[in-house]
Amino acid sequence: MRPTIVWAGGAERDLRELPAPLRRDELVKGVGHWEVELGFGKGRYLVRRAGEHRQLRFLGVEVASQYYRLARDRASEKGLTNLALIRGEAIYLMAAVLGAGWAEAVHVYFPDPWPKGRHQKRRLFDPLTVDLPLGLLRPGGSLYFASDFLDYGAAVRELLAAHPAVDLEIVDQLWPDGARTNYEAKFVTEGRPIIRLIARRRLTHEVALLHPAGRAGIIAAAKEVEPEPGSDGA
């Protein structure tokens, strides 16, 4: 497995050199709230937004090395000190490295839809994984999502609409600040339909952050690791 690389403030380190769970102030110091983009691609939106809002702090996660390096170089050229980038798998990082309640906003634009049935378990938005990106949000924070793959977008819309911890808004026009990715700019020019969603995490702490459609899988996974009768569970 390739090492997970972290870039922040002009320095690049192996994730294994940093404490776990990863502390936000270990990446970028400051008091501004955090925004996270999962799968930032070439970094068009993330780098632009970090440059426009230097009082805020930003974290980007991307698995493709060439895109990670491109965004890193763009951020370096702009002298951005409020941005951290991680090259690695988003689901692993959310589950094992990043703490809960990091961000005021999480952005996910045009994620891989994994259209083949046997690959759909790799999707970022699935009953078993949807609570990971939502878990990055502070209560009151918002998840922004867009996809041109209409079947996947509809599935995500249904998934979020059924979640007890979020309120869902369907955005039926372009974002107020325009196209946020190269894909979106291209698709808008071509007139292709795009599903855009905003899921706001409710402020009530009594609402469990657990999608009801994912409970069966979690229970099944727990049963798989139960000790055999008569064993000491070690």
Q: What is the CA angle 179-102-19, rounded to 5?
A: 120
Q: Active site includes 126?
A: no
| Amino acid occupying residue 106 | V
- Whole-angstrom Cα distance, residue 145 to residue 109? 5
The pair of structure tokens assigned to 56 is 């805020």
- Whole-angstrom Cα distance, residue 194 to residue 173? 9
- 121 exposure class (CB count in 10 Å sphere: 0-12, 13-18, 19+): exposed
Q: Which of 14, 25, 73, 112 is catalytic?
A: 112
Do residues 203 and 165 touch, judged by C-beta distance below 8 A?
no
- Whole-angstrom Cα distance, residue 14 to residue 112? 26
Q: What residues act catalytically? A: 112
